[in-house]
Amino acid sequence: MPRRPLVPSRPDGAGALRSSRAAPPAPRRAPAPQAPDTVALQIGAGAPPLMAPVLWRRSARARRVTLRIDPAKGGLVVTLPARTPVETGLNLLRTHHDWIVARITTLPAAPTFQDGETIPLDGTPMLIRHCPQARRGVWIDGPEIRVSGDADFMARRLREFLMREARTRLGRHVAALAATAGLKPAGLVLRDTRSRWGSCSDSGQIMLCWRLVMAPAWVQHYVAAHEIAHLRHFDHSPAFWRLVGTLCTTRHEAEAWLRTNGPLLMRIG
């Protein structure tokens, strides 16, 4: 049988030659693995897997893959260099499975906003008590926080109550410290932040995490003093820390308390 003629690969006849017979299709590459939002952890024989959330980050400055526990969310953070494939991070999760389980399972259980749970207010443990027949909203009665109405709305009502308390209690700290320092913030904003307890904008507005209302008052005082000091020194210079020390004498104790107990506050609710 005569062979099929070879024809030019380009109209001008230059370059390589190819057969007029169609080339077989190139084999398809397997799709790259996707970064999962959760990872299943085997915590014991016969026990259902524990699903831990995973946050994936890309960093142009990272030189290697890193893995850390996020105690505030009870999950994992995997950081990948810019060009590193997701599979490398997945391998890190597989090879460090036992290390991850040991640390995730030792995180303290975070209370929820439900009847019978205990949450702190100004650092004092308060028992949540559901009072379905009452018509008083949410109120404090001795060592209890009482919540009226339908059980389905307890969490929302309690959260709103704590945010109102935060505005009142944290607002007192901000006002008193501003008066002491002779400074005037542009305003106070409360947010549910997960990476910082407070900030001060260049316009003079102070932001505080409402969850600070669950910390002891002297810890609230320090965070407020830190942000008030930024109204005069928009940096962390020696002058800034001197002003913080003038406004609050328990800086180091408050920072240590937040390092130890802050992650739990972030998870309450």
Classify the C-alpha dihedral 45-51-57-61 as positive or negative. Answer: negative
CATH (domain of 247): 3.30.2010.10
Residues 125 and 95 in one domain: no
Which band of pLDDT confidence, cut at 50, 70 and 90, is reported for residue 24?
Answer: low
Residues 161 and 100 in one domain: no
Supply 262's token pair. Answer: 């802050």
Residues 155 and 99 in one domain: no
* 55 domain residue, yes or no: yes
Supply 151's token pair. Answer: 């059980």
Domain final position from 104, 136, 159: 104
In this model, does residue 266 exceed pLDDT 80? yes
Q: How far apart are CA 119 and CA 217, in angstroms?
A: 15
Amino acid 269: pLDDT: 87
Amino acid 242: pLDDT: 97
Which band of pLDDT confidence, cut at 50, 70 and 90, is reported for residue 26?
Answer: low
Question: What total number of domains does the chain contain?
Answer: 2
Give the chain's mean pLDDT: 88
Q: How far apart are CA 173 and CA 254, in angstroms?
A: 15
Residues 256 and 123 in one domain: yes
In this model, does residue 31 exceed pLDDT 90? no
pTM of this structure: 0.75
SS3 147: strand
Residues 93 and 169 in one domain: no
Which band of pLDDT confidence, cut at 50, 70 and 90, is reported for residue 136?
Answer: confident
Q: Apex CA 202: angle with CA 210 and CA 246, to 5°?
A: 70
The predicted-structure confidence for 148-190, as pLDDT tens digits, reads as follows 999 999 999 999 999 999 999 999 999 999 999 999 999 999 9
In this model, does residue 16 exceed pLDDT 80? no
Domain final position from 104, 134, 150: 104
Which band of pLDDT confidence, cut at 50, 70 and 90, is reported for residue 8?
Answer: very low
* 241 domain residue, yes or no: yes
Supply 129's token pair. Answer: 């008590």
* 29 domain residue, yes or no: no
Which band of pLDDT confidence, cut at 50, 70 and 90, is reported for residue 50?
Answer: confident
What domain range is 52 assigned to? 38-104
Residues 181 and 233 in one domain: yes
SS3 17: strand
Residues 132 and 252 in one domain: yes
Q: How far apart are CA 248 and CA 229, in angstroms?
A: 10
Residues 125 and 230 in one domain: yes
Q: Report the candidate in 243, 235, 236 with the shortest Cα–Cα distance to residue 183.
A: 243
Q: How far apart are CA 166 and CA 119, in angstroms?
A: 14
The predicted-structure confidence for 61-97, as pLDDT tens digits, reads as follows 999 999 998 887 888 999 999 999 999 999 999 999 9
Q: How far apart are CA 203 and CA 242, in angstroms?
A: 22
Q: Which secondary-structure segment (H or E) carries 208?
A: strand 205-209
Residues 77 and 124 in one domain: no
* 169 domain residue, yes or no: yes
| DSSP string of 52-105, one letter each residue | EEEEEEEESS--S-EEEEETTTTEEEEEEETT--HHHHHHHHHHTHHHHHHHHT
Question: Contact 188/170 with Cβ under 8 angstroms?
Answer: yes
Residues 149 and 93 in one domain: no
CA torsion, ordered 113, 119, 123, 126, to nearest 10 deg: 110
